[in-house]
Amino acid sequence: MINAEITDIEVHNVSFPTSTRAFGSDSMHGKPNHACTYVIIHTNTQFKGYGITATLGRGNEFVVLACKLMFEDHVKGQTTTEIYSDFASFWRKLTNDVQYRWIGPECGVVHLATAAIVNALWDLWARIEDKPLWKLLTDMSPEQLVSTMEFKYIRDVITEEEAIKILKEQLPYKEQYEKHLLTKGYPAYTADIGWWNYSNQQMRSASKKFQKLRFKEYKTFVGNTISESCQRCILLRHVLGKKKKIIIDASQFWDQDEVEHVAKRLAHYRIFGIEDPSSPDDFLAYTEMRDELNYRLIYKVEVTCGEICANRVQFKQFLKNAAINYWNLNVGRLGGVNEALVVCLMAKKHNIPVWGHAGGIGLGEMNQHLQIWSFICLGNHNAKMEYVSHQHGYFENPVHVSNFHFVLPKRAGFSTKLKDKCIVRWSYPEGSRWKDLFKTV
């Protein structure tokens, strides 16, 4: 490996006015402006690393500032050899700064900043090795891969030795699974058909579009009232027919008793699953909701969360209390790739499928790599990767879906590099497009 010294950082507040077209809207977040903290790590070589964490607009400036401060204190002057030879220790140092962690710990602004920096470092590593990130991960030995992960607070669920054993057990199948994905791609489902502020006509048009693309699973957003939620499900069933799977996303909108009441009504429409039905911190409520929705309705409704969960310890709580049927992985919300990997290993040990989340800038680009690695190295086959169709055009290596499957990335890196024109146009508030928009207000 090239021993590059990390010399500088650029951090950009990149934001899009998605609220004007209802993209990304849900019952809890009615007018989001999809945004990201975009990190570029410079070295004393030609190599750079590009990292992202996603937000919804206001507040992104806090993450930007945190990235700059954390870089100066813990990253600048380090070499790639020092970091990658003991990545777990580096990650621990970044997340456990004695003063920054007080406004965490391992959650909130500091953890989002950690994700952006850590994801940039993984992108840098993959670029140095001239591999897409999924390939960098799959080519590592079990021991090397596990050395990048932090197991503190979760050894009651999985240990380093158990993680290595799981990876070694899958070694005989890696080549076969990789060939399968290179041929067929990774299976996708779509959340692009039912944003909360979409009209009925927008929902019909989007659903028909993805039907023509042969998608099999569809996600729509619900909340606010039972009648509105039911009407959305009726509309989708009418357009999609009986065989397609429908997932509903409540975006943490309901209390526990509301979830159980609504689910009884919606189960008639053969709902496959409900995502984020209530507070992501209330794992005890999730345990009771899962029991109710899995076993006491006319049709089983699966329960999932993860998109908004900050760390591996939260996942441990859901796991130990049998609170979910499957997990939604968000590498831009967890503390970057390192923490996402250990969450996948916990899930594998306890037979919980891990699906990939994509509802934010760069999340599809990043999470696809984790899903591909999980398929090849963990045999996580009973899962899907979310696909939404907007904002990919600003990436140099955007996600590509063909025949309702993600085509595996072939270019080196984490697929996180934005085109220069994106920074020029959509940096907030100085970007040229934002200046034009301000003139019209």
Q: Which residue has the tokens 């907030």?
A: 428
Q: What is the pLDDT of residue 440?
A: 85
Spatial CB neighbours of 54, under 8 Å, sequence gap ≥ 6: 34, 35, 36, 332, 333, 360, 361, 362, 363
- To the nearest whole number, what is the mean pLDDT of the chain? 95
C-beta of residue 146 within 8 angstroms of C-beta of residue 338: no
Q: What is the pLDDT of residue 29?
A: 81
Mean pLDDT of 352-366: 96
Kind of pairing between the strands at 271-275 and 302-305: parallel
Report the alpha-carbon distance of residue 46 to residue 4 in Å, rounded.
9
Q: Which residue has the tokens 């963990």?
A: 378
- Does 401 have pLDDT greater than 90? yes
- One-letter identity of residue 46: Q
Q: What is the pLDDT of residue 27?
A: 75
- Does 206 have pLDDT greater than 90? yes
C-beta of residue 416 within 8 angstroms of C-beta of residue 119: yes
Give per-residue pLDDT as tens, 274-285: 999 999 999 999
Least confidently predicted of 20-29, 89-98, 202-211: 20-29
Q: What is the pLDDT of residue 66?
A: 98
Question: DSSP assignment of 156-201, as one string?
Answer: TT--HHHHHHHHHHHGGGHHHHHHHHHHH-EEEEE-TT--TT--HH
Q: What is the pLDDT of residue 1?
A: 80
As beta bridge partners, residue 305 has: 327
More confident residue, 298 or 418: 418
Mean pLDDT of 289-312: 95
Spatial CB neighbours of 396, under 8 Å, sequence gap ≥ 6: 411, 417, 418, 419
Angle at alpha carbon of residue 110, lines to 104 and 115, rounded to 5°: 125
Angle at alpha carbon of residue 370, lines to 215 and 272, rounded to 5°: 40
- Does 286 have pLDDT greater than 90? yes
Q: What is the pLDDT of residue 23?
A: 73
As beta bridge partners, residue 354 has: 327
- Does 26 have pLDDT greater than 80? no
Q: Summarize the chain as % helix, strand, coil (round to 5).
A: 45, 15, 35
Farthest CA pair distance, the chain: 62
**What is the architecture, at CATH level 2, of domain 5-131+422-440?**
2-Layer Sandwich (3.30)
pTM reported for the whole predicted model: 0.97
Q: What is the pLDDT of residue 264?
A: 87
Q: Closest Cα to residue 308, out of 288, 284, 328? A: 328
Report the alpha-carbon distance of residue 102 to residue 417 in Å, rounded.
31
Report the alpha-carbon distance of residue 17 to residue 227 in Å, rounded.
29
Question: DSSP assignment of 221-250, as one string?
Answer: E--S-HHHHHHHHHHHHHHH-SSSEEEEE-
| Predicted confidence band of residue 224 (pLDDT cuts 50, 70, 90) | confident
Q: Which is the CATH superfamily of the domain at 173-419? A: Enolase-like C-terminal domain (3.20.20.120)
Domain ranges of the chain: 5-131+422-440, 173-419
| Predicted confidence band of residue 391 (pLDDT cuts 50, 70, 90) | confident
% of the chain residues with pLDDT over 70 = 100
- Does 390 have pLDDT greater than 90? no
| Predicted confidence band of residue 53 (pLDDT cuts 50, 70, 90) | very high
Q: Closest Cα to residue 173, out of 385, 376, 416, 394? A: 376
Angle at alpha carbon of residue 225, lines to 221 and 230, rounded to 5°: 65
Buried/exposed 360-391: b ≥16 CB within 10 Å, e otherwise: bbbbbbbbbbbbbbbbbbbebeebbbbbbbeb
Q: What is the pLDDT of residue 32?
A: 85
